[in-house]
Amino acid sequence: MRTIEIEVRGFTFEALADGPEEGPLLILLHGLPRNSWEWHHQIPAMAAMGFRAVAPDLRGFCPGARPEGVEVYHLNEYAQDILEIADTLGPAGQPFHLMGTSIGATMAWWIAAKYPDRVATLACINIPHPGALAEGRSKTRTKNEGQTEKFNYIREAAREGNERKMFEAMLAAQNVTPEESEPYRKALDSDEALRAVYNYYLAIPLWFSERLDPVPMPTLFVWPTGSQNVASASVEANANWVTGPYRLEIVEDVHQPVLQAEPERMTRLLLEHLSEHARASD
């Protein structure tokens, strides 16, 4: 596993990468307050399967890809970054395999729904399809169990000047070892970096009401119940938003980042998904 730089759209993105350059491209999108290090347990195993596994640091997380302003953190800007990264790493316009966790999962759903011809297989962790989240908001069963209540933290995350407080709170909630979380502190050690990455939350109103279609590719969804920011009604509704083969895996009582909290189990689930679906679509 090595660090590489990818230049697209006038920016320089850093990424963790492994695997043969001629192998099928697999792009891995991280969450917040994390970066590409979140995937470090899985990347070598994916590379050993023959994939070219690449986990880019998202816009805002890299010094070379940190534009100013809220509107440039619209979800489609992240999507265009990823699509052009894929075109740079492999044949332009060709399908690639896509996985995402937390905010990276939201980006993955967006790309898979809007550009279905570009995504061969999909795996999302923790955050369901936006359509399923909308269903979860409409199916509140008891107080504090609906999706609206589960997302109350977004208001605090979107308050300007609140970035460092939210960063520390999110890191504390992760409950992983200092060795596992130190790369995140190192990457986001400045107020400038924190303001940039938390623009994700400020930009949510710019795209939140846009309806996404169901996704057609083979899809794995993993729900770590310990994170407590997704309603069970949203998880149940997620199957309505995948028209291709769909698998739901529930990891009980584990908080995000589940890729680090349960690395062996997550690696096994993700490799099973690739083994079942990736070869036929390459």
User: Which of 51, 28, 46, 36 lies closest to 3, judged by CA?
Assistant: 36
The pLDDT value given to residue 281: 44
Residue 253 DSSP one-character state? T
- Tens digit of pLDDT for each residue in 153-195? 787 787 888 899 999 999 988 888 889 999 999 999 899 999 9
- Tens digit of pLDDT for each residue in 108-138? 999 999 999 999 999 999 999 999 999 988 7
The pLDDT value given to residue 150: 77
Where would I find the H helices in 75-190?
A: 75-89, 103-114, 130-138, 147-150, 153-157, 163-174, 178-187
Beta bridge partners of 101: 125
Token digits for 246?
């769909």
Token digits for 45?
């195993």
The pLDDT value given to residue 146: 74
Element (H, E) at 30: none
126: left (phi over 0), alpha (psi -120 to 50) or beta: left
The pLDDT value given to residue 142: 57
**Residue 262: exposed, middle, or buried by beta-carbon count in 10 A (0-12, 13-18, 19+)?**
middle
pTM for this model (two decimals): 0.95
Low-confidence spans in the chain with pLDDT less than 70: 140-144, 279-282
Which distant-in-sequence residues (6+ apart) come within 8 Å of 147 by Cβ?
A: 133, 136, 137, 140, 230, 231, 233, 234
Quote the CA–CA distance of 110 and 105 in Å, as a whole number.
Answer: 9
The pLDDT value given to residue 141: 56
Question: With b meaning 16 or more CB within 10 Å and e meaning fewer, what string describes 16-50?
Answer: bbbbeeebbbbbbbbbbbbbbbbbbbbbebbbebb
Ordered by where they begin, the domains of the chain are 2-281 (3.40.50.1820)
Token digits for 145?
């169990």
The pLDDT value given to residue 175: 83
**Residue 252: exposed, middle, or buried by beta-carbon count in 10 A (0-12, 13-18, 19+)?**
exposed
Q: At what angle do helices 103-114 and 75-89 cross, to 10 degrees?
A: 70
